[in-house]
Amino acid sequence: MTHLTRRAGLLLHPTSFPGPGGIGTLGTEALQFLDFMVSAGFSLWQILPLTPPAAGNSPYSAYSAFAGNPLLIDLNALVS
């Protein structure tokens, strides 16, 4: 018999973080969130697709399955 380890996680898209451009990025806010998750005992972070949305603003109707959304780049971290 296989023994499974019980784990807990959160579903949260990076655009839900606070950010200077009105949406969050995969930068400082995401790292702070990961630190919180670890301290709270969570081990899973589920996110929605990170592609730029096409018509209808659905993350599931992207023009490419391989393109990343440039709005998720932390410009402050990129400069430094």
pLDDT tens across 18-69, in order?
887 788 899 988 999 999 999 999 999 999 899 988 888 787 888 888 889 8
Q: 9 versus 3: which is more confidently predicted?
A: 9
Decide if pLDDT at 12 tops 90. Answer: yes
Q: What is the CA radius of gyration of the chain?
A: 15
Residue 18 belongs to some domain of the structure: yes
**Looking up tokens 């996680």, which residue turns up?**
9
Residues 6+ apart with CB under 8 A from 77: 27, 28
The predicted structure's pLDDT at residue 30: 92
C-alpha distances out from residue 37 to 17, 21, 45, 46, Å:
14, 24, 8, 12
Decide if pLDDT at 1 tops 70. Answer: no
Helices (H), the chain: 28-40, 75-79
Residue 41 belongs to some domain of the structure: yes
Give the predicted TM-score (pTM) of the model. Answer: 0.78
Residue 2 belongs to some domain of the structure: no
Residue 60 belongs to some domain of the structure: yes
Domain hosting residue 31, numbered range: 9-79
Residue 37 belongs to some domain of the structure: yes
Both structure tokens of 29: 């806010």
Q: Domain count for the chain, please give it.
A: 1
Residue 3 belongs to some domain of the structure: no
Residue 61 belongs to some domain of the structure: yes
Residue 55 belongs to some domain of the structure: yes
Q: List the end-to-end C-alpha distance of the chain, in Å, as a whole number.
A: 51
The predicted structure's pLDDT at residue 39: 97
